[in-house]
């Protein structure tokens, strides 16, 4: 076992992996918040705005969704790095905007699932359009879509290793760096995978439980 696994190197890799995990977790949390907010805004625009507004938004959404995250990260870093000091900020915004396109579709499905009678009741009560969205439609749509939104948050967490293309020291990149410095990749990469599992699996169980409760 010592030929391919060393507890000494595993323990030695742990501090740098945990440093990278902080960045991974920060990127996931902030990216998720960006995607949740922008996704809802995009869904409402596509659902209710005139075509002169919704059509360009739809075009941008489809473009972002159909291009790889890695390409978006590299392109954004090349374009924005002369003007933005923080590469991490660029990565977080790219990650958040990329997943905005997916969460917008989830919100759209949730909005479409709201019974027609809810719209008719709001109209009969002469509720302003803004209040109808805020007090009637959006709360029901979010309730219907929480499990799917949570699953996308987990997917975002697992895609943070793509930050390596713009040299952000997240957990997997730190594992590779440790392996390159010590010529011991097995311990660092294995621990990184276990940390991802330890963080994402309980979250997936929580989302599954939430899904059953809402059902």
In a domain, 160, yes or no: yes
- What pTM was estimated for this model as a whole? 0.90
In a domain, 5, yes or no: no
Whether residue 215 has pLDDT greater than 70? no
- Span 122-142, mean pLDDT? 84
Judge contact between 151 and 36, C-beta under 8 A.
no
Cβ contacts of residue 43 below 8 Å, gap of 6+?
104, 105, 107, 108, 111
In a domain, 10, yes or no: no
Enclosing domain of residue 99: 22-214
Is the torsion defined by CA of 178, 173, 176, 1 positive or negative?
A: positive
Domain CATH code at residue 144: 1.10.3720.10
How confident is residue 214, by pLDDT bands cut at 50, 70 and 90?
A: low
Given this model, what pLDDT does residue 25 score? 95
In a domain, 28, yes or no: yes
What pLDDT, in 10s, does the model give residues 134-191? Answer: 888 888 888 888 888 988 999 999 999 999 999 999 999 999 999 999 888 999 999 9
In a domain, 84, yes or no: yes
In a domain, 14, yes or no: no
For the chain, what is the domain count? 1
Is the torsion defined by CA of 88, 90, 93, 99 positive or negative?
A: negative
Q: Is 4 helix (H, G, I), strand (E, B) or coil?
A: coil
In a domain, 1, yes or no: no
In a domain, 7, yes or no: no
What pLDDT, in 10s, does the model give residues 49-102? Answer: 899 999 999 999 999 999 999 999 999 999 999 999 999 999 999 999 999 999
């Amino acid at each position: 076992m010592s030929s391919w696994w060393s507890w000494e190197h595993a323990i030695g890799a742990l501090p740098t992996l945990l440093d990278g995990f902080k960045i991974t977790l920060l990127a996931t949390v902030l990216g998720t918040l960006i995607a949740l907010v922008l996704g809802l805004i995009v869904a409402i625009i596509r659902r209710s705005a005139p075509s002169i507004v919704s059509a360009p938004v739809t075009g941008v959404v489809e473009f972002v969704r159909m291009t790889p995250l890695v390409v978006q990260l590299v392109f954004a870093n090349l374009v924005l790095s002369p003007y933005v000091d923080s590469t991490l900020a660029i990565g977080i915004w790219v990650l958040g905007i990329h997943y905005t396109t997916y969460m917008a579709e989830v919100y759209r499905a949730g909005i479409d699932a709201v019974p027609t009678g809810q719209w008719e009741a709001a109209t009969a009560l002469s509720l302003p359009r803004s209040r109808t969205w805020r007090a009637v439609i959006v709360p029901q749509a979010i309730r219907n879509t929480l499990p799917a939104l949570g699953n996308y948050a987990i997917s975002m967490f697992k895609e943070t290793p793509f930050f390596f293309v713009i040299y952000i020291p997240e957990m997997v990149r730190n594992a590779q760096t440790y392996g390159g410095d010590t010529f011991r990749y097995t311990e660092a990469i294995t621990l990184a995978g276990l940390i991802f599992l330890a963080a994402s699996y309980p979250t997936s169980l929580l989302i599954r439980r939430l899904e059953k409760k809402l059902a």
